[in-house]
Amino acid sequence: MERKVKQVTTRTLAEMKARGEPIAMLTGYDHTFARLLEEAGIDVILVGDSASNVIAGHETTLPITLDQMIYHASAVVRAVKRAMVVVDMPFGSYQGDSRAALKGAIRIMKESGAHAVKLEGGRPILSTVRRLVEAGIPVMGHLGLTPQAIYQFGGYRVRAQEEAEAQRLYEDALSLAEAGIFALVLEKIPAALAQRVTQALSIPTIGIGAGPHCDGQVLVLYDMLGLNKAFSPRFLRRYADLHGIVVEACSRYIRDVKERTFPSMEESY
Ligand code: KIV
Protein backbone atom coordinates (compact mmCIF):
# COMPACT_ATOMS: atom_id res chain seq x y z
CA MET A 1 0.00 0.00 0.00
CA GLU A 2 1.31 3.45 -0.95
CA ARG A 3 2.08 5.66 2.09
CA LYS A 4 0.22 9.01 2.05
CA VAL A 5 2.66 11.92 1.97
CA LYS A 6 2.11 14.66 4.55
CA GLN A 7 1.90 17.96 2.67
CA VAL A 8 3.70 21.05 3.87
CA THR A 9 1.10 23.70 4.72
CA THR A 10 1.07 27.15 6.30
CA ARG A 11 0.51 25.37 9.60
CA THR A 12 3.57 23.15 9.07
CA LEU A 13 5.69 26.27 8.55
CA ALA A 14 4.32 27.91 11.70
CA GLU A 15 5.11 24.75 13.66
CA MET A 16 8.63 24.66 12.20
CA LYS A 17 9.24 28.22 13.41
CA ALA A 18 7.83 27.35 16.84
CA ARG A 19 10.22 24.41 17.28
CA GLY A 20 13.18 26.21 15.68
CA GLU A 21 13.41 23.98 12.60
CA PRO A 22 14.75 25.90 9.58
CA ILE A 23 12.60 26.10 6.43
CA ALA A 24 14.30 25.33 3.10
CA MET A 25 12.83 27.08 0.06
CA LEU A 26 14.13 27.16 -3.52
CA THR A 27 12.69 28.61 -6.69
CA GLY A 28 11.34 26.24 -9.35
CA TYR A 29 9.84 26.95 -12.74
CA ASP A 30 9.34 23.63 -14.51
CA HIS A 31 8.20 20.07 -13.97
CA THR A 32 11.55 18.28 -14.25
CA PHE A 33 13.39 20.43 -11.71
CA ALA A 34 10.35 20.47 -9.40
CA ARG A 35 10.42 16.66 -9.35
CA LEU A 36 14.10 16.79 -8.33
CA LEU A 37 13.40 19.39 -5.61
CA GLU A 38 10.60 17.22 -4.26
CA GLU A 39 12.87 14.16 -4.27
CA ALA A 40 15.53 16.15 -2.39
CA GLY A 41 12.96 17.00 0.30
CA ILE A 42 12.46 20.74 -0.20
CA ASP A 43 9.83 22.32 2.08
CA VAL A 44 8.64 25.12 -0.20
CA ILE A 45 9.01 25.72 -3.96
CA LEU A 46 8.69 29.35 -4.96
CA VAL A 47 7.56 29.82 -8.54
CA GLY A 48 9.40 33.12 -8.59
CA ASP A 49 8.94 35.90 -11.08
CA SER A 50 12.73 35.49 -11.42
CA ALA A 51 11.52 33.17 -14.22
CA SER A 52 11.48 36.44 -16.15
CA ASN A 53 15.30 36.56 -15.79
CA VAL A 54 16.48 32.97 -15.69
CA ILE A 55 13.95 31.38 -18.05
CA ALA A 56 12.96 34.18 -20.41
CA GLY A 57 16.22 36.17 -20.40
CA HIS A 58 14.75 39.55 -19.46
CA GLU A 59 16.87 42.10 -17.57
CA THR A 60 14.27 42.42 -14.79
CA THR A 61 11.26 40.62 -13.32
CA LEU A 62 8.87 43.26 -14.64
CA PRO A 63 7.87 41.82 -18.05
CA ILE A 64 6.55 38.42 -16.92
CA THR A 65 2.75 38.08 -17.18
CA LEU A 66 0.07 36.44 -15.06
CA ASP A 67 -0.54 33.83 -17.80
CA GLN A 68 3.17 32.97 -17.89
CA MET A 69 3.31 32.62 -14.08
CA ILE A 70 0.29 30.30 -14.21
CA TYR A 71 1.99 28.22 -16.92
CA HIS A 72 5.17 27.79 -14.82
CA ALA A 73 3.20 27.16 -11.60
CA SER A 74 1.03 24.45 -13.22
CA ALA A 75 4.12 22.56 -14.37
CA VAL A 76 5.59 22.71 -10.85
CA VAL A 77 2.37 21.72 -9.08
CA ARG A 78 2.04 18.59 -11.25
CA ALA A 79 5.43 17.42 -9.92
CA VAL A 80 4.91 17.71 -6.17
CA LYS A 81 3.14 15.78 -3.44
CA ARG A 82 4.81 17.11 -0.27
CA ALA A 83 6.26 20.56 -0.97
CA MET A 84 4.22 23.71 -0.65
CA VAL A 85 4.05 25.70 -3.90
CA VAL A 86 4.03 29.51 -3.62
CA VAL A 87 3.60 31.67 -6.73
CA ASP A 88 4.79 35.24 -7.23
CA MET A 89 2.10 37.63 -8.36
CA PRO A 90 3.74 39.44 -11.27
CA PHE A 91 4.38 43.18 -11.48
CA GLY A 92 1.22 45.11 -12.32
CA SER A 93 -1.20 42.39 -11.23
CA TYR A 94 -1.74 43.63 -7.64
CA GLN A 95 -0.28 47.12 -7.14
CA GLY A 96 -3.43 48.85 -8.41
CA ASP A 97 -6.90 48.00 -7.28
CA SER A 98 -7.35 45.15 -4.83
CA ARG A 99 -10.33 43.66 -6.73
CA ALA A 100 -8.11 43.06 -9.76
CA ALA A 101 -5.46 41.61 -7.43
CA LEU A 102 -7.99 39.21 -5.95
CA LYS A 103 -9.07 38.15 -9.45
CA GLY A 104 -5.43 37.47 -10.40
CA ALA A 105 -4.71 35.54 -7.21
CA ILE A 106 -7.84 33.42 -7.70
CA ARG A 107 -6.72 32.66 -11.27
CA ILE A 108 -3.33 31.49 -9.95
CA MET A 109 -4.91 29.24 -7.31
CA LYS A 110 -7.64 27.82 -9.58
CA GLU A 111 -5.69 27.36 -12.81
CA SER A 112 -2.34 26.18 -11.43
CA GLY A 113 -3.40 24.39 -8.25
CA ALA A 114 -0.73 26.27 -6.24
CA HIS A 115 -1.07 26.65 -2.49
CA ALA A 116 -0.23 30.34 -1.90
CA VAL A 117 0.83 33.59 -3.56
CA LYS A 118 3.64 36.04 -2.80
CA LEU A 119 3.39 39.83 -3.05
CA GLU A 120 6.18 42.41 -2.78
CA GLY A 121 5.79 45.51 -0.63
CA GLY A 122 4.66 46.82 2.73
CA ARG A 123 1.92 49.17 3.93
CA PRO A 124 0.88 50.39 0.43
CA ILE A 125 -0.44 46.86 -0.37
CA LEU A 126 -2.02 46.12 3.03
CA SER A 127 -5.65 46.40 1.87
CA THR A 128 -4.89 43.96 -0.96
CA VAL A 129 -3.22 41.51 1.41
CA ARG A 130 -6.27 41.67 3.71
CA ARG A 131 -8.63 41.11 0.79
CA LEU A 132 -6.74 38.01 -0.39
CA VAL A 133 -6.48 36.62 3.14
CA GLU A 134 -10.22 37.20 3.70
CA ALA A 135 -10.85 35.22 0.50
CA GLY A 136 -8.92 32.29 2.00
CA ILE A 137 -5.76 32.74 -0.07
CA PRO A 138 -2.51 32.28 1.88
CA VAL A 139 -0.19 35.24 1.25
CA MET A 140 3.59 35.36 1.64
CA GLY A 141 5.08 38.85 1.97
CA HIS A 142 8.40 40.13 0.57
CA LEU A 143 10.36 43.14 1.89
CA GLY A 144 13.85 44.58 1.42
CA LEU A 145 15.30 44.46 -2.08
CA THR A 146 12.01 43.80 -3.85
CA PRO A 147 13.04 43.31 -7.50
CA GLN A 148 9.76 44.64 -8.92
CA ALA A 149 10.79 48.07 -7.54
CA ILE A 150 14.27 47.92 -9.08
CA TYR A 151 13.85 51.08 -11.17
CA GLN A 152 12.82 52.98 -8.04
CA PHE A 153 15.85 51.64 -6.12
CA GLY A 154 18.19 52.31 -9.05
CA GLY A 155 20.24 49.14 -8.47
CA TYR A 156 20.64 45.90 -6.53
CA ARG A 157 22.55 47.20 -3.49
CA VAL A 158 21.73 46.13 0.08
CA ARG A 159 18.53 47.80 1.36
CA ALA A 160 17.62 49.29 4.76
CA GLN A 161 21.16 50.17 5.82
CA GLU A 162 20.01 53.59 7.01
CA GLU A 163 17.93 53.84 10.17
CA ALA A 164 14.88 55.43 8.52
CA GLU A 165 14.51 52.68 5.90
CA ALA A 166 15.24 49.98 8.48
CA GLN A 167 12.51 51.32 10.77
CA ARG A 168 10.06 51.51 7.82
CA LEU A 169 10.83 47.91 6.91
CA TYR A 170 10.35 46.79 10.53
CA GLU A 171 6.97 48.52 10.75
CA ASP A 172 5.95 47.14 7.32
CA ALA A 173 6.76 43.63 8.57
CA LEU A 174 4.58 44.08 11.67
CA SER A 175 1.71 45.48 9.57
CA LEU A 176 1.90 42.64 7.04
CA ALA A 177 1.88 40.06 9.83
CA GLU A 178 -1.10 41.80 11.40
CA ALA A 179 -2.86 41.71 7.99
CA GLY A 180 -2.50 37.93 7.95
CA ILE A 181 0.52 36.90 5.85
CA PHE A 182 1.78 33.42 6.78
CA ALA A 183 5.50 34.03 6.04
CA LEU A 184 7.77 36.86 4.98
CA VAL A 185 10.71 36.89 2.55
CA LEU A 186 13.48 39.32 3.54
CA GLU A 187 15.83 40.08 0.66
CA LYS A 188 19.29 41.63 0.84
CA ILE A 189 19.08 43.51 4.14
CA PRO A 190 21.53 43.63 7.08
CA ALA A 191 21.55 40.43 9.16
CA ALA A 192 20.90 42.37 12.38
CA LEU A 193 17.71 43.89 10.97
CA ALA A 194 16.51 40.48 9.71
CA GLN A 195 17.14 39.11 13.20
CA ARG A 196 15.14 41.93 14.80
CA VAL A 197 12.20 41.32 12.42
CA THR A 198 12.40 37.53 12.90
CA GLN A 199 12.29 37.88 16.69
CA ALA A 200 9.35 40.30 16.55
CA LEU A 201 7.15 38.09 14.35
CA SER A 202 5.33 34.89 15.21
CA ILE A 203 5.23 33.95 11.49
CA PRO A 204 8.41 32.63 9.81
CA THR A 205 10.85 34.84 7.92
CA ILE A 206 12.70 33.41 4.92
CA GLY A 207 15.92 35.17 3.97
CA ILE A 208 17.91 35.68 0.80
CA GLY A 209 21.00 37.72 1.52
CA ALA A 210 19.52 38.48 4.95
CA GLY A 211 21.89 36.51 7.17
CA PRO A 212 21.62 33.39 9.32
CA HIS A 213 18.94 34.47 11.82
CA CYS A 214 15.89 34.07 9.56
CA ASP A 215 13.58 31.10 10.12
CA GLY A 216 14.35 29.81 6.64
CA GLN A 217 16.42 30.47 3.54
CA VAL A 218 15.67 30.76 -0.18
CA LEU A 219 17.92 30.87 -3.23
CA VAL A 220 17.24 31.04 -6.95
CA LEU A 221 17.65 27.44 -8.14
CA TYR A 222 19.63 28.18 -11.29
CA ASP A 223 22.06 30.38 -9.34
CA MET A 224 22.73 27.87 -6.54
CA LEU A 225 23.22 25.11 -9.12
CA GLY A 226 25.92 27.24 -10.78
CA LEU A 227 24.13 27.63 -14.11
CA ASN A 228 24.87 31.35 -14.25
CA LYS A 229 28.58 32.15 -14.01
CA ALA A 230 28.01 35.90 -14.40
CA PHE A 231 25.91 36.31 -11.22
CA SER A 232 28.04 36.22 -8.06
CA PRO A 233 26.59 38.20 -5.15
CA ARG A 234 28.12 37.64 -1.71
CA PHE A 235 25.02 35.81 -0.42
CA LEU A 236 25.05 33.17 -3.16
CA ARG A 237 26.52 29.80 -2.22
CA ARG A 238 26.94 27.55 -5.27
CA TYR A 239 26.18 23.90 -4.53
CA ALA A 240 27.13 22.62 -7.99
CA ASP A 241 28.81 23.70 -11.21
CA LEU A 242 26.08 22.74 -13.65
CA HIS A 243 27.40 25.29 -16.12
CA GLY A 244 30.60 23.29 -16.49
CA ILE A 245 28.79 19.93 -16.48
CA VAL A 246 26.23 20.94 -19.11
CA VAL A 247 28.74 22.59 -21.45
CA GLU A 248 31.09 19.61 -21.15
CA ALA A 249 28.29 17.07 -21.80
CA CYS A 250 26.96 19.00 -24.80
CA SER A 251 30.49 19.41 -26.22
CA ARG A 252 31.06 15.66 -25.99
CA TYR A 253 27.73 15.00 -27.72
CA ILE A 254 28.57 17.46 -30.52
CA ARG A 255 31.98 15.82 -30.98
CA ASP A 256 30.44 12.32 -31.11
CA VAL A 257 27.88 13.39 -33.73
CA LYS A 258 30.53 15.09 -35.85
CA GLU A 259 32.82 12.06 -35.59
CA ARG A 260 29.89 9.68 -36.30
CA THR A 261 30.57 7.76 -33.08
CA PHE A 262 27.01 8.44 -31.94
CA PRO A 263 24.78 6.50 -32.30
CA SER A 264 26.47 3.08 -32.23
CA MET A 265 24.73 -0.04 -33.58
CA GLU A 266 23.81 -0.94 -29.97
CA GLU A 267 21.96 2.37 -29.79
CA SER A 268 20.14 1.66 -33.08
CA TYR A 269 17.12 -0.49 -34.06
O1 KIV B 1 11.39 35.65 -7.80
C2 KIV B 1 12.20 35.19 -6.97
O3 KIV B 1 13.06 34.36 -7.29
C4 KIV B 1 12.13 35.67 -5.60
C5 KIV B 1 13.21 35.22 -4.65
C6 KIV B 1 14.46 35.94 -4.93
C7 KIV B 1 12.79 35.38 -3.25
O8 KIV B 1 11.26 36.42 -5.27
| pLDDT (tens digit per residue) in 144-195 | 999 999 999 999 999 999 999 999 999 999 999 999 999 999 999 999 999 9
Q: Is 102:132 a contact under the CB 8 Å cutoff? A: yes
Residue of minimum CA distance from atom 1 in ligand 1:
48
Mean pLDDT of the chain: 97
Rg for the chain, CA atoms, rounded: 20
CB atoms within 10 A of CB 100: 14
The percentage of the chain sitting over the pLDDT mark of 90, rounded to a whole number, equals 97
Helix ranges (H only) for the chain are 10-18, 31-40, 51-54, 66-77, 98-112, 126-134, 150-153, 163-179, 191-200, 221-224, 242-258
Residue 247: predicted pLDDT: 98
CB atoms within 10 A of CB 230: 5
Q: Any residues with CB less than 8 A from the CB of 208 and at least 6 apart, and which?
A: 185, 186, 187, 188, 217, 218, 219, 235
Which ligand 1 atom sits closest to the C-alpha of 220? 3
Q: Is the CB of 50 under 6 A from ligand 1?
A: yes
Cα–Cα distance, 254 to 264 (Å, whole number):
15
Which ligand 1 atom sits closest to the C-alpha of 25? 7
Of 155, 143, 83, the residue nearest 119 (C-alpha)? 143
Cα–Cα distance, 79 to 95 (Å, whole number):
30
Q: Look at residue 102 and tell me whether its pLDDT is greater than 80.
A: yes
Q: What is the mean pLDDT of residues 66-79?
A: 98
208 C-alpha to ligand 1 centroid (Å): 8
Q: Any residues with CB less than 8 A from the CB of 124 and at least 6 apart, and which?
A: 95
Dihedral of CA atoms 143, 147, 150, 153 in degrees, nearest 10, equals 20
Q: Look at residue 1 and tell me whether its pLDDT is greater than 70.
A: no
CB atoms within 10 A of CB 98: 18
Q: Any residues with CB less than 8 A from the CB of 165 and at least 6 apart, and which?
A: 159
Residue 2: predicted pLDDT: 67
The residue annotated as part of the active site, out of 162, 187, 248, 259, is 187
**Which mutation among 69, 88, 89, 221 tests ligand 1's pocket best, with the greatest number of atoms within 8 A of CB?**
88
Q: pLDDT class for 103, splitting at 50, 70, 90?
A: very high
- Helix, strand, coil shares of the chain, percent, nearest 5, are 45, 15, 45
User: Using the 8-state DSSP alphabet, how is residue 74 labeled?
Assistant: H
Cα–Cα distance, 217 to 220 (Å, whole number):
11
187 is catalytic: yes
Dihedral of CA atoms 9, 14, 16, 17 in degrees, nearest 10, equals 150
Which ligand 1 atom sits closest to the C-alpha of 147? 8
Residue 6: predicted pLDDT: 96
Interval 114-124: pLDDT, tens: 999 999 999 99
